[in-house]
Chains A and B, each alone.
Chain A
Amino acid sequence: MTTDGLARVLEAVARDDIDVLLLGRDGNARFVSGAKRLFLACERAFAPGCVVVRATGAVHLLSVGDAGIPPDIPRARLYPITWNPGALMGVIVAMPGVAGARRIGVDGLTPLFDQLIRAFFADADLIDGEALMREVRRVKTSDEIACIRAAVAVAQAVMDEARVVARSGRSEREVAAVAMEAMARHGVTTAAFEPVVVRVDGTTAIDVGVLRDGWEGGLARTEPGTAAPAEHAAAIARCRAGTPVREVAPGGEVCGVGAGYEVLEPDRELEPGMVVSIATWPVRDLVLVTDATPEVLTTAPYVD
């Protein structure tokens, strides 16, 4: 994963006059650093696992070793795991350019880190760092779109194998098992979510999502294939610059996709370079908003 994520975050940090950004969410840390740390499923409570410092332009990462850490992050910018949150804050305050920060962006919080941040940074303001990250991540660069395309290719290969198993009449559980197996055989051991397989009246709906090198790809199809509902095609056609998110797919589900799931504000207008997931039961596609006609990244046919 190589992007200019850090540069864009530093621009936003300067614009919003944020001195230090404390990031707990792994997707945000991946975005600014390109690091591949141990993947854990589930939401985790906030702890500052990645620090962006405006004064130095540096990103610091919580990591005991440098395996999976891009070479452009020097070892001096790794900091170790500690079970003592106060000690962790002490390490962060000692990073060059951090002491005396007045505006601190965070992408989550706990009661304990609320207290500690206030203790270590007297009178500092807490800023919504997730809003900043959401904005920076929303529009993808061509490199990022290439990463998403590569993830989509894996997801589509997984879908092909899952459909073969579904065709043979095996259970929903077995279809999910084969899909997960196929994902790993294609070299991806981290799922965006584990396959959702639902069989209704002989038709099996399958939704898969993978995180390949930290970038998400995914789609939903059926076995046997079924044409996408008319409202799905209409929703895709509305994925044009200027359409507010809430108007894209009134009967379906819309979210952003990039370094994992991205929350989209309902009033946000689509812009070229955004990648959105459009789900209209029983199908789902990833769509790239362009200057002209939207491009469906998930090219697998609905019906073969």
Chain B
Amino acid sequence: MAHPRVREQMAAFGVDVLVLCGENNVAYATGRVARSQEPARAGATRSVAIVTRDDHLVFQPPSLDLDDGARALAAAVADCSGVVAIDEYPSVVAYAALRERAPIDAAPLLSQAKIVKTPDEVERIRAAQRLNENAIDIVRPLATPGARQTDLTAAFFRAIFEFGATGNTVDPIWNIVPPSIDGAGFTLTGHLPFPNPTTDRVLTTGDVMFNDMGIDLEGWASDFGRTWIIEREPDSRQRDQFERWCATCAACERAIRPGSTAADVARAATAANGGARPWFPHLYVAHGIGTESAELPFCGTDLGEEIEDQVVLAQGTILVLEPVIWDDGHGGYRAEEIVVVTADGCERLTDYTYAPYEMSVR
């Protein structure tokens, strides 16, 4: 049987047949986890799930870019009667093959299911995060002058696979940030470019690095982020940035409880930062996580407060908080903190040091 929350939402949305072509959705609904591969290979070798109210089928069709694959998909759907919903069309031929069934959009149904994680799923995400953090323990001492960004990636890869990660999901980010946006490189938003692709750039003393990495453990994602300073203790200004980050994070955590909205989290962050939004304008201050490293709900996007006020948190919702404190001319601080909504507040899943910054606010 497919995930009970998926079946529950199928009933609520009046969907009889749920066609899932996205590998993260297949993993969520059925537990079938794909290997970590570049997107084209992943797409060409994907498994598809067809979920009905009391059964489900997972199969690997021939390439869905070609008629044979599209026909196989349509034939499998033809065996199931009723209202069809689909998450994505792998190709125009797959779209054409399913057109007569007039599928509706499965996205609302899926996000409604995923917004609450079961206790078991919370533990799976916690375990994925712990594995990620254990790998970072091995990498952190290597972030010294003379090391290349790619050396850190090499050590991270070695560690995560030795520790049993199912896959690496994002090219690890070791983003060295300059003190000023001016000279950091062009952006459409006028804010800092982040993330920049990893290169063989060599680290030097005093570099401030925003890092960010995601791994997959048996289908469940993790998301690690901290700021490091290469071989130097933070100065008083940098410690102040960190304390403001802690205060912002704490304000978000106080706003997070069952019944609060995505917009509440963004408003709390902005209020704690003296009225200025403490996050990259092209991103958000918080995002959900599950079988994808960033999924709904999002807090603080350009969708605006009116829409984000309709997104209500519940016990079991997981958010990754990622405020950014930026003092242009003096750099900034960014880190990520995963929290799960409890009966009356929230609890952290991330459990990692802020070294070399001090722990002053909790």
Count of A-B residue pairs with CB < 8 Å: 218
Task: Please judge, given known A-B contacts A38-B170, A41-B170, A180-B157, whether A174 and B162 are in contact too, CB under 8 Å.
Answer: yes
A83-B39 in contact (CB<8A): no
Q: Do B44 and A261 have beta carbons less than 8 Å apart?
A: yes
Q: Mark B56-78, 1 if CB is under 8 A from A, else 0.
A: 00000001011010000000000
B14 part of interface (Cβ distance < 8 Å): no
Interface flag for B342 (CB, 8 Å)? no
Grouping DSSP codes into helix (H, G, I), strand (E, B) and loop, the A interface class, with mixed when no group exceeds half, is mixed
B186 and A184 contact, CB distance less than 8 A: no
Q: In the complex, what residue of chain A is closest to B93 when comparing beta carbons?
A: A128
- Say whether A43 contacts B39, CB under 8 Å: yes
Given contacts A81-B282, A128-B91, A189-B150, contact A42 B161 (CB under 8 A): no
CB distance from B168 to the nearest CB of A (A): 7
Do A193 and B189 have beta carbons less than 8 Å apart? no
Q: Given the known A-B contacts A43-B43, A177-B158, A192-B37, are A65 and B302 also in contact in the complex, defined by CB atoms under 8 Å? A: no
B197 within 8 Å of A (CB atoms): yes
Residues of A within 8 A of B66 (CB): 263, 265
Indicate if the CB atoms of A263 and B65 lie closer than 8 Å: yes
- Interface positions of B from 95 to 110, Cβ below 8 Å from A: 95, 103-107
Q: Which residue of A lies closest to B186 (CB)?
A: A66
- A5 in the interface, Cβ–Cβ < 8 Å? no
Query: Which residues of B (30-63) have their CB < 8 Å from a CB of A?
Result: 34-46, 63
Asked if A80 is at the interface of the complex by the 8 Å CB criterion, the answer is: yes
Docked-complex contact B154 and A177, CB < 8 angstroms: no
Interface residues of A in 241-281 (CB under 8 A from B): 255, 259-263, 265-266
**Which residues from 37 to 63 on chain A have a C-beta closer than 8 Å to any C-beta of chain B?**
37-46
**Residue of B104, B150, B200 contacting most chain A CB atoms (<10 Å):** B150
A8: interface (CB < 8 Å): no
Given the complex, which residues of B lie within 8 Å of A131, measured CB to CB? 65, 92
Let me know if A84 and B302 touch, CB within 8 A.
yes
Closest residue of chain A to B42 (Cβ to Cβ) is A43
User: Residues of A within 8 Å of B, CB-based: how many?
Assistant: 72
Interface centre among B93, B105, B161, by most A CB within 10 Å?
Answer: B161
Contact A80 B161 (CB under 8 A): no
Given contacts A46-B88, A68-B196, A83-B303, contact A111 B103 (CB under 8 A): yes
Question: Can you show 7 pairs from A to B with CB atoms below 8 A apart?
Answer: A41-B38, A45-B87, A65-B196, A68-B197, A111-B104, A181-B157, A261-B40
- Interface residues in chain A, defined as those with a beta carbon under 8 Å from any beta carbon in chain B: 25-27, 36-46, 64-68, 75, 78-84, 87, 106-112, 114, 126-131, 134, 173-174, 176-178, 180-185, 187, 189-194, 209, 211, 216, 255, 259-263, 265-266
Give residues in B with beta carbon < 8 Å to A: 22-24, 34-46, 63, 65-66, 68, 86-93, 95, 103-107, 150-151, 153-155, 157-162, 164, 167-173, 185-189, 193, 195-198, 200, 282-284, 298, 301-303
Q: Which 9 residue pairs are nearest across A and B when measured between Cβ atoms?
A: A177-B161, A65-B193, A111-B105, A184-B154, A180-B157, A261-B41, A181-B158, A83-B301, A45-B88
